[in-house]
Amino acid sequence: MLAYHPTPVQEIHLPLLERAGVQLLVKREDMNHPLVSGNKWWKLKYNLEAFSESGKKNLLTFGGAYSNHLYATAAACRELNIASIGIVRGEMHLPLNHTLSFAEQCGMKLHYIDRTTYRSKYDESFLGKLRETYGEFFMIPEGGTNEAAVRGCAEFARTQLPPSSGQIIFLPAGTGGTTAGLLAGVNDDVEVVAVSVLRGGEFLRDEILTLAKEFLQQPYGNFELLTSYHHGGYGKISEELLAFIAMMEQEHQLPLDPVYTGKMMWAILKEIEAGAIKRGTTVLALHTGGLQGRHGFMKKA
């Protein structure tokens, strides 16, 4: 079992919030584990339990060169003494970036494939070739998103969110597993708002609602997806976003990353500024961790 540290709720004070009459709280789930942080802890919890029950010796998963999921999985496997394999989208570039270098240091075997092959990564013919190379393995999908991940994130919502968790919960979304888990775990009078970090992220709406419904067998009306705050797409950044992230850390002691949480917090304040969140509302932002991504992307600007 991975170590877990209970996390605080931090209130953000800004003149904009006072003028709008909105309270902004941040659930600092980035502090739940030094390496397997944020939503990754919860997405991996039951996947790692299933691996243990499978009797297999190798755990295999997928991700890009800056993947928080690969980073967290490698760290978890090192902590639990599990042999791990990471299928990486794209060619190998030396020296390795911070994410992949760390994964290797944790003992993860990295297997690089071109982007065309990566799009067919779950095809049985490709998986068969991987079994020929590595033997039988337990597979976790890209981003860790599956039923086990939804189960873990629903448990987080039920057990770790404060009782007065806010009328609106915001979180960033990449594959949708965490959002689906929150929907399944909160009361239906709490609105869940996901901020897509992907360009063209409208498809996430159906992905999220399907994952949540498959888990709890009920429809959900307390969900909204915002798709216009991606700053150019996944892994894309802007000078404005970087300046905003620096300000939030310097003035509010809130570290954010430019791939996920920075875009979420930007979206929250823009929505408040536009009057989309009514006066008297409490907003709870879920800090999903992933601060290791700053090592690569903050240098790209």
Sequence-distant (≥ 6) Cβ neighbours of residue 55 within 8 angstroms: none
Question: Residue 250: its pLDDT value, please?
Answer: 96
Give the residue extent of every domain in the chain: 9-35+152-297, 39-144
Q: Average the pLDDT over 203-218 and give the result.
A: 93
Question: Residue 300: its pLDDT value, please?
Answer: 45
- 237-246, 254-263, 292-301, range with the lowest pLDDT: 292-301
Query: Which of the four pLDDT bands, split at 50, 70 and 90, describes residue 218?
Result: confident
* Architecture in CATH for domain 39-144: 3-Layer(aba) Sandwich (3.40)
Q: Average the pLDDT over 249-272 and give the result.
A: 97
Question: Residue 301: its pLDDT value, please?
Answer: 40
Question: Residue 162: its pLDDT value, please?
Answer: 81
In tens, the pLDDT along 142-187 reads 999 999 999 999 999 999 998 765 689 999 999 999 999 999 999 8
Helical residues (DSSP H) of the chain, grouped into ranges: 15-20, 39-54, 68-80, 98-105, 115-118, 124-134, 147-159, 177-185, 204-216, 239-252, 261-273, 294-297
9-35+152-297 — its CATH code? 3.40.50.1100
Query: What is the percentage of the chain residues whose pLDDT exceeds 70?
Result: 97
pTM: 0.93
In tens, the pLDDT along 53-79 reads 999 999 999 999 989 999 999 999 999
Distance from the Cα of residue 38 to its chain's centroid: 7
Query: Which of the four pLDDT bands, split at 50, 70 and 90, describes residue 43?
Result: very high
Question: Residue 191: its pLDDT value, please?
Answer: 95
Sequence-distant (≥ 6) Cβ neighbours of residue 151 within 8 angstroms: 46, 181, 215
